[in-house]
Amino acid sequence: MRTQVGIIGAGPSGLLLSQLLHLQGIESVVLERRTPDYVLGRIRAGVLEEGMVQMLRRAECAGRMDAEGLIHDGFEICFGEVRHRIDLKKHTGAGVMVYGQTEVTKDLMDARAAAGGAVIYEAENVALHDLDSNTPKLTYQKDGAEHEVVCDYIAGCDGFHGPSRRAMPENVLKEHERVYPFGWLGILTDTRPVADELIYVNHWRGFALCSMRSMTRSRYYIQCAFDENLDEWTDDRIWDELRVRLPADAAESIEMGPSIEKSIAPLRSFVAEPMRHGRLFLAGDAAHIVPPTGAKGLNLAASDIHFLSNALIAFYQDGQTDLMDSYSEKCLDRIWKAERFSWWMTTVLHRFPDQNSFDRGVQLAELDYLTSSEPAQAAFAENYVGLPFE
């Protein structure tokens, strides 16, 4: 098989890139190891920056998001039992869109299917070859047969554990990582959200977050040990712990119900650089991971695709290579800023195992300064709604 761009991974970043290229007449083939149902079954982020929203509109995949998504102009931070609202729109003129990553992926899947896009699911043992040549190749196995895709370029959108980053030479790739000593226990439930906007909670027992996917579906998180046994967390135990950590008025009004999904996610910060080697470009979780505290994971992947799609379109339409040459530098500039913000939020809002009274005092002082200083809130809001792509 011959195509212009080979894309590994049919998550939102890979599908978004394929759709944007298709709209400009550029061919692509997407290889995905899992089934469509598995991909759609992954419960992930739900807060979209304005840049991501505009990209979905540009990709002609925003109809359902615009009809069903929830625009939030602010959110709350709670510490010491007091709720403080951060007004995003006041400080930046923008808000965020609450719309689940699963829904984004479904919309992109539907768009690629309607366009007859080449998306190959259950493609096993994907391998990359000849990255330094003008015709890099992808090989994979499906239905017991070996297949090959010859490309002009390869986009590695295959996540942290995919083959793309591992295909880069060890003497080229540099990795940076911080692993946090806790995880997030998440519960998804068909209940009314406890508030109209998100609530981030700093509590002496640990972090909590009240989020949502719609006005009838709620997503809650509590900080837990990263090696916690999920089987020991019954729904009742989760609700009890969540109510302890929430401010009293929220705890009293929370609507409880059976979980439809439970999981424990470890937290890490990770950056791989450079994000290009030869004809291979890394994007999304293949190149970087952020703790979910700042809601940056999916949005960072979208900014990568912004830069990569523009670079590929410029090459195929005008023969320009300068955007491809600057791809890694531009992405990493934005990535490191998002990593800093996500690290800061994680550090300020969570309880660390070795935290002493001094650490706790500094943590509370940070939160007090944020909620009492207009300039601090403006800087915070600028980062939360998303820094400009350019």
Q: Among this protein's residues, is 262 annotated catalytic?
A: no
Q: Among this protein's residues, is 38 annotated catalytic?
A: no
Q: Could you say which DSSP state residue 284 is in?
A: G
Catalytic residue (choose from 22, 72, 203, 288): 72
Catalytic residue (choose from 106, 296, 330, 350): 296
Q: Among this protein's residues, is 384 annotated catalytic?
A: yes
Catalytic residue (choose from 99, 277, 292, 330): 292
* Nearby residues of 205 by Cβ (< 8 Å), 6 or more positions away: 241, 244, 245, 351
Catalytic residue (choose from 153, 220, 327, 384): 384
Question: How many whole angstroms separate alpha carbon 274 and alpha carbon 115?
Answer: 33
Alpha-carbon separation of residue 183 from 5, 229, 294, 353, 357 (angstroms): 36, 12, 15, 12, 22
Q: Among this protein's residues, is 153 annotated catalytic?
A: no
Closest CA to 20 of 284, 277, 304: 304
Structural element, H or E, at residue 59 = none
Q: Among this protein's residues, is 200 annotated catalytic?
A: yes
Q: How much is the CA Rg of the chain, to the nearest whole Å?
A: 21
- Joined together, the tokens standing for residue 285 give 């979780």
Place of tokens 């493609």: 123
Question: How many whole angstroms separate alpha carbon 240 and alpha carbon 369?
Answer: 31
**Cβ count near 102 (within 10 Å):** 18
Closest CA to 161 of 126, 120, 109: 126
Q: Could you say which DSSP state residue 143 is in?
A: T
Structural element, H or E, at residue 336 = helix 327-349
Q: Sheet of 288-289: strands edge to edge?
A: 82-87, 74-79, 199-202, 208-214, 217-224, 174-189, 259-273, 288-289
DSSP-derived pairing of the beta strands 145-150 and 96-98 = unpaired
* Nearby residues of 141 by Cβ (< 8 Å), 6 or more positions away: 123, 124, 125, 147
- Joined together, the tokens standing for residue 213 give 């996917």
Catalytic residue (choose from 200, 220, 221, 316): 200
* Nearby residues of 53 by Cβ (< 8 Å), 6 or more positions away: 62, 65, 97
3-state secondary structure (DSSP) of residue 141: strand
Q: Which residues are catalytic?
A: 72, 200, 292, 296, 384
